[in-house]
Chains A and B, each alone.
Chain A
Amino acid sequence: MNRILFSIVRKEFTHIFRDIQSLYLVLGMPLLMLFLYGYAITLDMRQIDTAVIDESHTPESRELISHLSSTDFFRITARDVPLSDIGDLFKERAARCVLIIPPSFARDLAATGDAQVSLIVDASDPNAANFIRNYVGQVVANENQALNPERSALFTVSPRIFYNPDMRSANFFVPGLIALILILITSLLTSIAIVREKETGTMEQILVSPIRPAQIIVGKVLPYTLIGFIDGVMILVVGSLWFKVPIAGSLALALGMMLVYVITGISLGILISTIAKTQAVAMLVAVTLTVLPSTTMSGFIFPISSMPVFLRWISDIIPATYFLEIIRGIVLKGNTLADLYRQALILLGMDILLIAVSVRAFRVRLG
């Protein structure tokens, strides 16, 4: 039994090492994605191109403008353009927002104590527009504070940021990437490896040998489990050494949960291999069933709570949704199994269900 299993594993490794190009891809792609996600993704804004129209021409208005331009958020790219040109300014993308200080600004401020400025924002990028509104709000709030030094606030707000005090996006994406890469590698490689044997006809040759189906499956799957695991550990190591992502929780727990999740991916791969007849189809099915939902609907980048209800239902049946909560919980929050038992149980349940279904489907196909 063990010798047969060992031979199949060795045969599978020979296949893997013979196709060295794909092996590079399998080990290199996670690293590339890690660097891309670690460096490139940050949604907040800096140095926003801003136009100011000062119709007031007073020391007060100039002070407001200088406060605006002295922050890191705004960069003034145009001054005193005619109001009718704002549309063109936006279409040319020369500015993302225009601050207009009306002629009566200083007069109103002195007479009634209540002055208004308008802010016109190019909201075609709503995320940017949101930031711009908040930043301008902050600048003006500071200005108000400076105008009324003796007037103290009723109360203040002090935020305390847990788990990721500097709100670094690398801390968010590095553990998340493990969830994405693991499911991609395991489901894709497993399904392709099994379908390839079907396509080339070697599967039937193996079947007429005294090897049992369970041995074939386990033997074929073990090498890919290992590769998936190596990828996961690699991301963790590079993430913590290069991107300085702190690992707050238990490493053993993280590795254990990774194993549970790898089994999910592999049983998905086996299931796909029973449906697909060619490698191209297996690949397509694997990508649409695992990669796409795991990237877009699992909370990997976009928060699930912001999605419409029908997508939240879908996200509830995606394994990555639960593994993301687990791995981020362990790595960033220092969660223990007591905090995560619900997600862990769901993932285990999915494993058992998928293994049962895929082994049965595999047998039916062979019989």
Chain B
Amino acid sequence: MRRIFYIVQKEFRQIRRVRANFAIIFVAPFFQLLIMGSAITTEVKNVPIATLDFDHSVASREILEAVRSTTSFTYVGAVSSEREAAAVLDRGRAKLVVAIPPHFEQQMKDGEAPRVQVLVDGVDGNSAGIALGYIQATLAREQVRMARFAPLAAARAAPRASTITVIPRMWYNPDLMSKLNIVPGLVAVLLMMLTMLLTAMNIVREKEIGTLEQLMVTPIGSIQLIIGKIIPFFVLGLMQLTVGIVAAGLVFGIWMKGSIFLLYAMAAIFCLSTLGFGIFVSTIARTQQQAMFMSWFFMIFSLLLAGFFIPIENMPQAIQDITYINPLRYFIVIIREIYLKGTGFRFLWKEALAMGAIGVLALTSASLRFRKRLK
């Protein structure tokens, strides 16, 4: 026990000695959260839109006005021909062009149901789909309004209508703000980055400068050494988590609904696996540079396969299967549940169990590998 304590003490001294560590743990999370929390968004806003009116009637002007005033769009101007419409899409000046064909109003009066054409730049398929959804919703509303105020031939001809309306209610995030979802996830990602990277870099550095061998000729056992190395980074991780929680609250005004103790307990379980990965990387890498490369690599993959901003349910089955061994996948769910819904342990124990199993496995196999390497 005493020996472990000495190592922990030594590590803390070394950490304290490097000024940059303070910045990494206490200051960087604020900036990382601010920038990434604002940049990573699945909302679609300020989409540049142009209009093309061949009809120049009251109806066409009303429809285009409704489109222009939709808050998700930024109106960039009117074009006067199909060729011009294609040109603004080609140059990327507009992502959408709403076109009203000639004789639109007349055809509407005659009940011929003319077509409003929407030309869409489909390069970014996801954003394009959402923007198109906004256009369709706007036009549907406009249609209802026109039918009510200007009873035209088509509407008059029909008998009394029966309609079902949907009244949606959005729980936990009524304004559908992306940041409520992304920011807690980021707190989890930052925790993973710090614990894994610092552990790997620290051990490899001792290898590089040769102090690891010096430690090995002392009576300290390799298990004691690993425990002594893990504890400081575990503590640092929880400290950074605290900073992350405060930063999310101060920068974005996002505070957790659920139990803070539950979150810390879950974070502790999660750290088992990230520390394990850190040690594992340190057994493979010979230089700090390699350690950094590998950790970075690891991180990108676990980030993409964690459901952080790409829903896992839509991935091909083979990739979905891989995500089950990704501890970040479970922790992202847990931290979001606790933050947004205040979910209790009753509904999170499965994730905790999976995360704990992966953590114990990663930590023991990495430690065994570490021990073998030293002998």
Contacts and interface: CB of A to CB of B under 8 A. Distances in A.
Interface of A: 21-22, 25, 29, 33, 36-37, 39-47, 64, 87-88, 90-93, 109-110, 113-130, 133-134, 136-137, 140-141, 143-144, 147-148, 150-169, 171-172, 192, 279-280, 283-284, 287, 296-297, 301-303, 305-308, 310-311, 325, 328-329, 332-333, 335, 339
A141 B39 contact: no
Contacts, number: 301
Given A44-B314, A335-B90, A152 B111 contact: yes
27 contacts: A39-B319, A42-B314, A45-B314, A46-B314, A47-B313, A91-B341, A116-B165, A118-B169, A119-B167, A124-B181, A126-B173, A127-B42, A127-B178, A130-B130, A134-B137, A144-B164, A152-B111, A154-B108, A156-B116, A159-B132, A161-B120, A162-B89, A162-B122, A163-B122, A168-B125, A171-B123, A303-B127
Contacts of B311: 43, 45, 125, 127-128
Contact of B341 (A90, A156, A329): A90
B316 to A, nearest CB: 6
B315 A311 contact: no
B332 to A, nearest CB: 11
Interface in B104-123: 104, 108, 111, 113-123
Interface string B246-265: 00000000000000000000
Contacts of B159: 150-151
Contact of B38 (A126, A283, A307): A307
A279 B208 CA distance: 13
A116 B169 CA distance: 13
Given A43-B126, A152-B113, A306 B170 contact: no
Given A29-B297, A165-B122, A306-B45, A283 B158 contact: no
Contacts of A283: 289, 292-293
Contacts of B290: 21-22
Interface of B: 35-36, 38-48, 74, 86, 89-92, 104, 108, 111, 113-130, 132-133, 135-137, 139-140, 143, 146-147, 152, 154-155, 157-174, 176-178, 180-181, 201, 287-290, 292-293, 296-297, 300-301, 304-305, 309-311, 313-316, 319, 333, 336-337, 340-341, 343-344, 347
A134 B138 CA distance: 12
A128 B181 CA distance: 11
Given A130-B176, A151-B161, A118 B167 contact: yes
B290 to A, nearest CB: 8
A162 B46 CA distance: 20
A126 B43 contact: yes
Nearest to A336: B90
Contact of B42 (A43, A118, A155): A43
A135 to B, nearest CB: 10
B89 A126 contact: no
Contacts of B158: 148, 150-152
A126 B180 contact: yes
Given A155-B114, A279-B289, A305-B74, A44 B126 contact: yes
B164 A158 contact: no
A91 B289 contact: no
A311 B35 contact: yes
A279 B290 CA distance: 10
A126 B178 CA distance: 6
B162 A109 contact: yes
Contact of A124 (B91, B120, B341): B341
A308 B45 CA distance: 10
Contact of B168 (A29, A121, A168): A121
B104 A155 contact: yes
B310 A164 contact: no
Residue from B46, B86, B163, B164 having most chain A Cβ neighbours under 10 A = B164
Contact of A339 (B39, B91, B289, B344): B91
B341 A311 contact: no
Given A155-B143, A306-B41, A40 B122 contact: no
